[in-house]
Structure 1
Amino acid sequence: MDTCIHCNNKFDFFCTCCQLTFCKDCDVASCYQNKHYVITMNTAVNRFKKELDEVKKLTDDIKLKIEEKRDSIMNDNNNFQRHKTACKTDIDCLKNKVIKEVEDKCKKLISDLDNLSEERDKVFPNKVDFFDSVMEDVDRLNLSITKLCNPRDLNRLERFEKDLSLTRNKVIDDDQRSLMPKFIQSKRMNDMISCNIIGEIIAYDPDYEVVTCTTNKLVQTGESFTIDVLSSRLNQACQVVANLTKSTGERSNVEVIHVSENMYKIKSLCNSEGDWKMKITVDNRNIKGSPIDIVVVLRLVCTIDNISNNMGKKNTKRVVDVMSLQDGSILISNGSCEVLKFNQSGSFVDSIDSSQNVCNMCKLDDNHIVYSNHVNGPCIVLCNDQFKEIRSFGKDKLAYPSGVTVNKPTRVVYVTDDQHGVLKFSVDNGEYLGRIGRTIIKSEDKRPEDEEMNGPLDVALNHDNQLLVADTQNSRVQIFDTNGEFVSIAICAGQEDGKVICPCGIIVDEVGNIIVSSNNMLQLFNKNGVFIKRIDHKEDG
């Protein structure tokens, strides 16, 4: 209403306390008496319009925020669905890969079973025919015997008896034993299925991201490292929390530095080698790129470069094998009857004489040492820690032995031989226990099959007591189980990092990582044969 109902005049004033409008002729003594705040109508209208504009602006801002939030939620949901689809695709690909590998392995098992059956089928009809023929001969003799009726037939009876004895001997001498097929399921299968070997699903905060490394990082013991984290949120207070834990449960201190509103630096170091995992969270949620697998390897201590200067009796200028002792000292063999001893700093300590030429070495828990000799009279030697011989064995089985390793619980020594693959002996009595793999001569037009070896030079046992064989001339590393059955090709042939050409040395460190020496390269792999890094110096050549 634009006019006063009492005076029919236009409104001139507005009481901000009573929220009433009135004209100049109205009695508003009570408003003034009560010291109300009375303003002109123009002022009231302008103030109202201003507040109305502010409310409309606030409404528009809220609507804009709602639309932005809604769009953000929609985009977030679309991203989630896209990542969900990608995860399902990755899981399906992994599943199909595992299924294919299992199917291929099962086909190989079926093929082995069929081959065994074919071998039996070749023998079985002949066996049946043989005994049918023998039975006919016995029946004929028996018929002739029943016709004998007086003492004048004694000579004939003796002849029949002789024929029966010969037939009996043929039956007895025939080996009726046959091999029965049996499927032996891998003991690790159930453990692998029950363990988290395929992967896991985690939820991460996409507003925070690791920006300085991939999901794997390799450092040396005692080496400090830094990981950068970037945030799309501008935070005044530090929101990032980091924890660094070893697979054994050991923890290491971590420092989180809030560099700027959206940048964090995480600093830490590890004093023991092994597999570590850094978990970076915000509000107990992983960020993008977390957790980070960190592999810690031993730091290079020193280089021993004065070996040839200390080879007195046979200066071959060649290192065949290196072995560390419990006191930290280092033994170096060179294929002669002299073993050199150095301390941890690389200083020469002493030379030790042995009764035979020392090539590759392996220490036992009882301070004894097993070594190979391929120079004169190839054999394996068991000796004490001063290389005094206890026994030697394998002379009638070995041609050119090189790498040696011992399964300490079973006391079985495994030896690579240039002509025979991998041979097994008992450490305690030198008894020959069999061989692993098949040896071949490398052919340019034929790819070597699984289990086939050509000039293997070294062997090692992993933490599952599986055998790792440096298949030198085939340029690969093969894995065999405790029964000597082929498991897989752990490392393939190739010139690039992560592959090998003519591997000549292989060891497994304390945490299960594999170190392979090949073609002037020293490479570190994890326990599954996945390449980690090169650990040699470029200038070593």
Structure 2
Amino acid sequence: MSTPLRRMRRNFRVQVIDKYGCCKKIISCERGRKFWFLPEDVAVSDDNHYFIADKWNHEIIVTDDDGKVIRCFGERDLVSPTGIAINPINSNVYVVDTYNNNIQVYNKHDGRNIKTIGCRGDGEGQLHDPLQIAIDEEGKLFVADCGNHRIQVFDSLLNDKYIYSIGRNGDGDGDGLIYRPLMLALGNDTDLYVTDVKDEEKLNFRLLKFDSKSGRFIRRIDCDDDKLLWPRGIAFTNSKPRTLIVSDWGHHCFKEYLI
């Protein structure tokens, strides 16, 4: 992704922002929608098509680079699509459906539903209020299982089988203990970055780094002075040096971290 994508919920649009914070383009899909366009997450394919999770219309909208709608899919299956990623191994589209507590898998080219991963629960492979998904180059799925206080990892090379969890504890005070994971980003090699609610009553949020292979906690990236308030989007730039961009929804701004 050459430019971070900003999810504009209350403006009902997607903005493409360059590394200097300048708006490059706006994608708005109001025409023909049953409800207001509410983009929750965006994935960009190799052919530069935008796959947008539209929460209020319960579907995935695919647009070209100019924002023209190509097709929509998922309306029959999805209730609350909040996270989306394209698997580099099989090119399938993985959509996190928060209210259904599962992940729907679609064919990228025609939107055909392939399978469902997970169901409500707290066991291995079960989900409770999942929010986002990230997929590494080996096809491993990292799912922010918010209600279960953990990141769950599935392997698409093993038929999307559950393999391990990261950070499950339910106590957000200690190092590496996840309380309510919100958003995910995968860095180089084995780095996994997670935005987490440390203290919901005090609106205290944080940005954590884990080893994605072992689940080992590495360090906290931000500090209390950063005052993250509902971080809702997280992505890496392709520029050098590579930086991590966090969309601070509560402060209506982006925060950039040199990793």
Q: Which TM-score bucket, shorter chain as reference?
A: 0.7 to 0.9
Residue of 216, 224, 248 corresponding to 1:530: 216
The aligned length equals: 207
Q: Which structure has greater strand proportion?
A: 2
2:104, 2:116 within 8 Å by CA — same for their partners in 1?
yes
Contact 1:462–1:512 at 8 Å: present in 2 too?
A: no
CA RMSD, aligned part only?
1.7
The answer to whether the 8 Å contact 2:27/2:67 transfers is yes
2:76 is equivalent to residue 401 of structure 1: no
Alpha-carbon distance, 1:337 to partner: 3.1
How far 1:409 sits from its partner (Å)? 3.9
1:461 aligns with 2:135: yes
Contiguous gaps of at least 5 residues in structure 1: 1-324, 441-447
Report the AA paired with residue 385 of structure 1: D
Task: Report SS of the residue matched to 1:359.
Answer: strand
Distance across 2 between alignment mates of 1:351 and 1:368: 14
2:15 is aligned with 1:340:
yes
CA distance in 2, matches of 1:479, 1:430: 24
**1:97-496 residue pairs with structure 2 within 5 A?**
325-326=1-2, 329-335=3-9, 336-355=11-30, 356-375=37-56, 377-418=57-98, 419-440=100-121, 448-482=122-156, 483-493=159-169, 494-495=171-172, 496=174
Structure 1 residue 538: Cα displacement: 1.5
Instruction: Report the counterpart of residue 127 of structure 1 in structure 2.
Output: none
Greater helix share, structure number: 1
Among 165, 187, 196, the residue aligned to 1:509 = 187
Structure 2 unaligned regions, length at least 5? 31-36, 198-204, 228-259
Partners of 1:340 and 1:382 in 2: CA distance: 15
Which has the bigger relative contact order, CA under 8 A and spacing at least 6?
2
State the secondary structure of the residue aligned to 1:518.
strand
Q: Alpha carbons of 1:510 and 1:365: their partners in 2 closer, same or farther (altered >3 Å)?
A: farther
CA distance in 2, matches of 1:348, 1:428: 29
Tell me, yes or no, if the aligned pair for 1:398 and 1:420 is still in contact at 8 Å.
no
TM-score (norm 2): 0.74
- Output the TM-score relative to the length of structure 1: 0.37
CA distance in 2, matches of 1:534, 1:521: 7
Instruction: Kindly name which structure, 1 or 2, has the bigger radius of gyration based on alpha carbons.
Output: 1
Q: Is it true that 1:521 corresponds to 2:206 in the alignment? A: yes
Look up the SS of the partner of 1:395 in the other structure. coil
Q: CA deviation at 1:509?
A: 1.4
What does the per-residue CA deviation read over 1:401-434, in whole Å, with 9 as the maximum and x for residues that have no partner? 1010111342211111121411111111111111
Secondary structure of 2:5's counterpart equals strand
Distance of 2:141 and 2:183 partners within structure 1: 14
CA displacement, residues 215-271 of structure 1 (integer Å, 9 cap, x when unaligned): xxxxxxxxxxxxxxxxxxxxxxxxxxxxxxxxxxxxxxxxxxxxxxxxxxxxxxxxx
Q: What secondary structure does 1:332 align onto? A: strand
Q: Provide closer, same or farther for how the CA distance between residues 409 and 380 of structure 1 changes in structure 2, counting only shifts above 3 A.
A: same
1:498 pairs with 2:184: no
Which secondary structure state, in structure 2, belongs to the residue aligned with residue 492 of structure 1?
A: coil
Q: Structure 1 stretches (4+) deviating beyond 4 angstroms? A: none
SS of the residue corresponding to residue 473 of structure 1 reads: helix
Whichever residue aligns with residue 339 of structure 1, its letter is: V
- Percent same amino acid among aligned pairs? 25
Deviations 1:383-405 (A, max 9, x none): 11232211111101011110101
| Secondary structure of 1:390's aligned partner | strand
Contact 1:363–1:370 (CA<8 Å) still a contact in 2? yes
Is the 2:142–2:152 contact (alpha carbons within 8 Å) kept by the matching residues of 1?
yes
Task: Say if 2:88 and 2:137, in contact at 8 Å, map to a contact too.
Answer: no
